[in-house]
């Protein structure tokens, strides 16, 4: 039997001719890859692959995250303008959270119909299916349909409440080390969302347990740097960061078309570094971060912002270090770091746990990390790891 050769990143794979190679051709085309067939002889067809991996998935993810950001912006605007909203009323953020998840699930499934569909996400529809959740479900459905209509395409049919419930429940996947799994935080930084501050729509894709692409939509993050005192002529707000493995990290205006490749800063002197940490003290130990900064000789005060917008800001060099040390007993979820981690690493940075181990996204919904998560550039990582180890040892000895 003859063979067919698939050229893929300078590697060849031999498969049988006839129905076998046609099956492989069909499988490759399902991945959104352009395939042409050339026959060297009557028994030796050659398939030439002419597209980059995950291109179609990235386009779908950018579209989904951008539309979800539009939905969230609408809800946040109404929330901030409301005179009757109280801090105990969580309904607006609930509507935005569920609406974002439903919308992203719907777009991804629609744009990638030939792929097995799996999302690991934060929400499920249990509360919305109860009698007490019916009004909220109707508001979510209206909001999703309004957002789809604003996309300007007539190809979307009106979604029913059952469609929305189904889309939300697509997020029940457990993830793991086999196959393709989307990883979604529909609103990362809900407290920032409620305050009118930073939040992000964070969408990543796992393939065989590895993060292969990530998109961060940050509706309130300025396009200009937030980490320097330089004067900028643009006050435009709203960023979309995106990256896929081996292809770098890019930023563009939310909903815009012009994209710019970004890189982490190249600072090698810790005294010149600035760092990010969570706005909420409940999310990370500010005292521990302060101790580490002191050991490094960092002089600038920390920049405290909500959500994975920190990953985006660090990827373009706004700051040099991101420290996250959750309180004892807290388990990190993969949707809090999947998209952000590849955005930083493809921009030249490093993301590890506090012991310097790479993050492992292959074990389901949770990350098993040692003590915390640290993010910086390659030049600062050795000194940062030493400072972290010293600070953690001092903390342990004081208990």
What residues form the annotated binding site? 122, 185, 187-188, 336
CA distance 89 to 91: 6
Q: Is the CB of residue 262 less than 8 Å from the CB of residue 363?
A: no
User: 120 burial class (0-12, 13-18, 19+ CB within 10 angstroms)?
Assistant: buried
Give the count of beta carbons closer than 10 Å to the beta carbon of residue 18.
12
Q: Which helix (H) or strand (E) holds 66?
A: helix 55-81
> Which pair of tokens denotes residue 124?
């499920």
| C-alpha closest to that of 112 among 66, 186, 57, 62 | 57
CA distance 276 to 283: 13
Q: Is the CB of residue 68 less than 8 Å from the CB of residue 218?
A: no
| C-alpha closest to that of 79 among 239, 190, 237, 164 | 190
CA distance 337 to 332: 8
- Can you tell me whether residue 89 is helix, strand or coil? coil
CA distance 273 to 49: 44
CA distance 281 to 291: 15
Active-site residue set? 97, 190
Which residues 6+ apart lie within 8 Å of 64 measured at CB?
103, 104, 107, 108, 111, 203, 215
| C-alpha closest to that of 112 among 32, 5, 15, 220 | 32
Q: Which helix (H) or strand (E) holds 26?
A: helix 19-30
Residue with tokens 């959740």: 133
CA distances from 186 to 7, 53, 124, 190 (A): 37, 25, 12, 10
């Amino acid at each position: 039997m003859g063979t067919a050769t698939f050229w893929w990143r300078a590697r060849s794979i031999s498969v049988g001719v006839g129905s076998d190679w046609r099956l492989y051709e069909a499988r490759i085309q399902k991945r959104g890859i352009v395939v042409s067939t050339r026959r060297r002889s009557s028994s030796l067809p050659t398939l030439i692959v002419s597209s980059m991996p995950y291109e179609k998935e990235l386009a779908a993810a950018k579209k989904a995250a951008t539309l979800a950001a539009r939905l969230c912006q609408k809800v946040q605007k109404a929330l901030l303008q409301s005179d009757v909203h109280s801090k105990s009323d969580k309904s607006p953020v609930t509507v935005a959270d569920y609406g974002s998840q439903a919308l992203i699930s719907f777009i991804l499934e629609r744009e990638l119909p030939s792929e097995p569909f799996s999302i690991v996400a934060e929400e499920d529809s249990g509360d919305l299916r109860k009698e007490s959740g019916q009004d909220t479900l109707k508001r979510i459905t209206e909001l999703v349909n309004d957002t789809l209509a604003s996309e300007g395409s007539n190809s979307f049919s009106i979604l029913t409440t059952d469609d929305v419930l189904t889309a939300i429940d697509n997020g029940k996947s457990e993830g793991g080390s086999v196959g393709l799994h989307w990883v979604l935080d529909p609103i990362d930084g809900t407290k920032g969302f409620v305050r009118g501050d930073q939040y992000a729509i964070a969408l990543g894709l796992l393939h065989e347990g590895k993060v292969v692409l990530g998109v961060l939509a940050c509706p309130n993050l300025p396009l200009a740097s937030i980490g320097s005192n330089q004067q900028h002529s643009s006050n435009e707000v709203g960023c979309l960061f995106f990256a896929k493995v081996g292809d770098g990290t890019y930023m563009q205006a939310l909903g815009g078309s012009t994209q710019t490749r970004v890189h982490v800063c190249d600072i090698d002197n810790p005294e010149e570094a600035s760092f990010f940490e969570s706005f909420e003290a409940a999310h990370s130990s500010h005292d521990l971060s302060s101790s580490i900064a002191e050991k490094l000789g960092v002089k600038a005060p920390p920049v405290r912002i909500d959500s994975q917008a920190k990953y985006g800001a660090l990827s373009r060099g706004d700051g040099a270090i991101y420290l996250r040390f959750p309180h004892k007993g807290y388990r990190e979820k993969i949707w809090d770091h999947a998209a952000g981690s590849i955005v930083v690493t493809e921009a030249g940075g490093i993301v590890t746990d506090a012991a310097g181990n790479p993050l492992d996204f292959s074990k389901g919904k949770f990350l098993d990390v040692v003590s915390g998560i640290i993010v910086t550039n390659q030049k600062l990582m050795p000194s940062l790891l030493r400072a972290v180890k010293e600070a953690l040892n001092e903390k342990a000895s004081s208990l």
